[in-house]
């Protein structure tokens, strides 16, 4: 019986060391940097990660607003509101490490009154690192101004939908489907075949361009089965001046 207090003391010490290790990991600095551009409800975040880092996604927070969606096009992952870092309201988590300089499109609900922040995740079951504040670029001087029509029109002869985009100057408009995964939990998510593909269009003057949104084989099958096709499209305008901006739009395609 005399040994019990000593055993208890060792157990408490081990637990304290483990807890300290977990807290140290959660508070570790990622070395990331972030810049953001946009206004209203949609922002584009350019995140730079140190070489060799192991990051599986990010939690996002916006002072005064709620994050309702986030995507990193071209990477396998999904949006979640579970297991979030403090002072965040949404996360995008992948089942494999990210590489390069991820670009995230974040959609907000409410009026942002302060800063945008990202909190890197060091695993698929998120253990979060220290938050990083995104420097908000001057919208007037650094972004390209454009608008996207709220509804596409179907053209039977072309077997495609036409989406009008108005641009304030010369440049190129492109778009890609912004939901590369299926499933609700990132670790169990699977890479999904795209439902549509879009060719980029350039214009040498201010005006309107028309994007042709064509269904893939997978999109045609889903359209035939359900009568409509709901997609999230990330539309990007790269202006001839070097400025760039992106908008995430939700479209329901019907014939």
Question: Is the model more confident about 25 or about 169?
Answer: 169
Given this model, what pLDDT does residue 240 score? 85
Given this model, what pLDDT does residue 157 score? 92
Q: Are the C-beta atoms of residues 169 and 144 closer than 8 Å to each other? A: yes
> What is the value of pTM for the model shown?
0.54
pLDDT classification of 184: cutoffs 50, 70, 90:
very low
Given this model, what pLDDT does residue 131 score? 95
Q: Are the C-beta atoms of residues 98 and 128 closer than 8 Å to each other? A: no
Give the angle subtended at the CA of 76 by the CAs of 74 and 80, to the nearest 5°.
Answer: 115
114-159 pLDDT tens trace? 889 999 998 878 889 999 999 887 544 445 789 999 899 999 999 9
Given this model, what pLDDT does residue 233 score? 93
Given this model, what pLDDT does residue 112 score? 86
Q: Which parts of 27-109 fold into alpha helices (H)?
A: none
14-49 pLDDT tens trace? 444 344 444 444 458 889 999 988 877 888 899 999
| Residue position matching structure tokens 């996002």 | 60
Given this model, what pLDDT does residue 68 score? 94
Residue of 192, 193, 200, 195 whose CA lies nearest to 163: 200
pLDDT classification of 187: cutoffs 50, 70, 90:
very low
H/E element, 213? strand 207-215
53-98 pLDDT tens trace? 889 999 999 999 999 999 988 788 899 999 999 999 999 999 889 9
Given this model, what pLDDT does residue 16 score? 41
Q: Which parts of 95-246 fold into alpha helices (H)?
A: 139-142, 217-226
Question: Is the model more confident about 228 or about 123?
Answer: 228
Given this model, what pLDDT does residue 27 score? 58
């Amino acid at each position: 019986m005399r040994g019990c207090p000593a055993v208890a003391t060792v157990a408490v010490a081990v637990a304290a060391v483990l807890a300290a290790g977990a807290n140290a990991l959660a508070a570790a600095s990622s070395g990331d940097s972030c810049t953001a551009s946009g206004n209203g409800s949609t922002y584009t975040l350019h995140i730079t990660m140190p070489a060799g880092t192991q990051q599986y996604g990010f939690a996002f927070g916006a002072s005064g607003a709620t994050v309702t969606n986030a995507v990193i096009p071209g990477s396998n992952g999904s949006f979640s509101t579970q297991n979030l870092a403090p002072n965040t309201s949404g996360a995008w988590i992948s089942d494999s490490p990210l590489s390069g300089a991820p670009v995230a499109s974040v959609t907000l609900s409410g009026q942002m009154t302060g800063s945008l922040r990202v909190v890197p995740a060091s695993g698929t079951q998120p253990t979060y690192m220290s938050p990083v504040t995104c420097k908000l670029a001057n919208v007037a001087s650094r972004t390209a101004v454009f608008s996207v029509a709220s509804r596409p029109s179907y053209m039977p002869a072309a077997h495609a939908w036409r989406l009008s985009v108005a641009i304030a100057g010369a440049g190129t408009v492109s778009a890609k489907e912004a939901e590369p995964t299926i499933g609700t939990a990132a670790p169990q998510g699977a890479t999904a075949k795209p439902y549509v593909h879009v060719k980029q269009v350039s214009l040498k003057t201010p005006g309107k361009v028309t994007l042709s949104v064509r269904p893939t084989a997978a999109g045609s099958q889903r359209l035939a089965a359900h009568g409509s096709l709901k997609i999230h499209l990330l539309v990007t305008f790269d202006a001839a001046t070097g400025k760039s901006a992106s908008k995430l739009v939700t479209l329901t395609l019907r014939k």
